[in-house]
Structure 1
Amino acid sequence: MPKFIVVLSGKRKCGKDYLKDSLVSYYSNSSVLTLSAPLKKQYAIDHGLDYELLLGSSDYKERYREDMIRWGEQKRSEDPSFFCDLVVNTIPAKDRHDETNIWIVSDARRPSDIDYFVRNYGREKCILIRVSASHETRMSRGFEFQPGIDDADSECALDSFANWDLLFSNNDQNDFENSWAELTSLVS
C-alpha cells in the first residue's frame, strides 16, 4: 500500500502536468500513474500508430484524440477498471508495496477512476485534487475548444464531482504557490 495516492483531475491545459512534475520533484519517493498511457499504448498498437507521439502534447495526438476517446469509452463500458488495473500493474512490485511511496495519478477523468482508487486503497489514502485555470489562462497555454473532445466525458465527467480535498487554482505563479502550500499540508 502506498502512503498516499494524490489523484489529479482538471480540464485540458489547466496545468495538471506542471503540478504532477512539481509533486515528483518535491516527493522523491513517488510513482506517477498516468491513466491515459495504457489507453494510448493499446490504441497505438491496435491502430499502427506511434505510441511516443501519442503521449506528448503534439498535433499528432490531437489528430487521433476524438477516435481514441471513443475507443477508450468502449473499453471502459466493458470494464470500468480496465485502464486503472493496467496502470497499477506497471508499478514495480517493490514500489507497489512500499508504504513510504506516494502515488501521483496524473489524469483522473471519470468518477470510475476516483472510485477505483478509493475502493481499492481506502478514502483515507486518497487525496483528490481538482486543478483549475480560467478559460483565458488555458487559452494562453494553447487551449482551443474542440467539439466532441472538450464536451465529452473525458473532459466533463468530473465537472459535478463535489468531494475534492483541494481545489487547486493554477492561473498564475501566485495562485500556484498558494494552492501548493495547501496541498503540501495535506500530503505530509
Structure 2
Amino acid sequence: MVSPVRSYGEEGRDCSVVPLLSVAESILRGVRILGVGRSVSFRHREAWRPMAPLGGAPRLVLLFSGKRKSGKDFVTEALQSRLGADVCAVLRLSGPLKEQYAQEHGLNFQRLLDASTYKEAFRKDMIRWGEEKRQADPGFFCRKIVEGISQPVWLVSDTRRVSDIQWFRETYGPMTQTVRVVALEQSRQQRGWVFTPGVDDAESECGLDNFGGFDWVIENHGDEQRLEEQLENLIEFIRTRL
C-alpha cells in the first residue's frame, strides 16, 4: 500500500493529506515513489494533445516543485552534475522573471539570483509583479526559459503553479513528468528557512500543495543515504529516455 504525501504548514502542522495514488489515478496516470532501494511504477496512460515544442525537442522534461529550503536546487544540480551539462539543462522560471523585474525597477539582476538578503528584500514585490504578468499571459515565463535549449533532458527547478504544469504538458505532452521535493519543517529550518507572511502563504509557495498527482516524490529530510538512493532511482529512469 502506498503511503500518502503530507504537506506541512508554517508551524509544523499537518495541513493536508493528499493520497499519492487512488484507484482512479493508478488507472489514469503513472506514479513513481522514490523510496529506499525500490520504486513503484504504473504504466502511463494519459493522452496529450501534440503540439510543436519550442526551442529544442526534449526527450524528457522534469518539473520540480517544493517549499522554500526543501532542496529543489540541490537536487536538480546534483542530477545535472551526474548526467552532464551536455545532456541535462537546469531551467529556472524565476530567471526571466527576476531579469525583467530588475530591468523595470533598476535593480542588480545577478544579486537577485543568489540567496542573499538583497533578493529577500524584494521578494514580496517580485511575487506581486510576477502574478500580474502570469494573469495577463500564463505561459509568459515558461516560453522564455525554453528558448534555445538543445539538451535532451530539461530540469525545471522551480515549478510553482498548476498553470506551469499545464503549459509544459500541453506543449511537450508525455515527455513531461512532475517531481515533488519534500522536507520536514525542522529540516527546512536547519537550512535557514523562517516563515515569512506574504511569501510562505502566497500562491508562489502554496499553489501546488493540493496538486496530489506528482509522478515522483523525493524525500529530503537530511538522510544522505536515503536521498542518494532516491536520486539513483530517478537517474536510472532518465537514462531510459536517452
Give your verdict on TM over 0.5. yes
Is 1:141 equivalent to 2:199 in the alignment? no
Of Structure 1 and Structure 2, which has the larger fraction of its residues in helix? 1
Aligned to 2:58, what secondary structure does the other structure show?
Answer: coil
Match of 2:59 in 1: 3
What is the distance in 2 between the residues matched to 1:114 and 1:33? 14
Deviation at 1:184, TM superposition (A): 2.0
TM-score normalized by structure 1?
Answer: 0.92
Is 1:169 equivalent to 2:219 in the alignment? yes
Unaligned runs of at least 5 residues, structure 1: none
Deviation at 1:3, TM superposition (A): 1.1
Task: Give per-residue Cα distances to partners, 1:86-131, cap 9 Å, x unaligned.
Answer: 1111x34xx1xx6xx1011010000011111111001x21121000
Match of 1:154 in 2: 204
For the 8 Å contact 1:35–1:87, the answer to whether it is kept is: yes
Match of 2:34 in 1: none
What is the distance in 2 between the residues matched to 1:30 and 1:182? 16
For the 8 Å contact 1:27–1:102, the answer to whether it is kept is: no
Match of 1:83 in 2: 141
Deviation at 1:182, TM superposition (A): 2.8
Is 1:34 equivalent to 2:119 in the alignment? no
Match of 1:20 in 2: 76
For the 8 Å contact 1:31–1:102, the answer to whether it is kept is: yes
Which of 1 and 2 has greater Rg?
A: 2
Return the structure number with greater relative CO, CA threshold 8 A, min gap 6: 1
Letter in structure 2 aligned against 1:15: G
Match of 1:187 in 2: 238
For the 8 Å contact 1:5–1:103, the answer to whether it is kept is: yes
TM-score normalized by structure 2?
Answer: 0.72
What RMSD in Å do the two structures reach over aligned CA positions? 1.1
4+ residue runs over 3 A deviation: none
Match of 2:45 in 1: none
Deviation at 1:187, TM superposition (A): 1.6
- Equivalenced residue count is 180
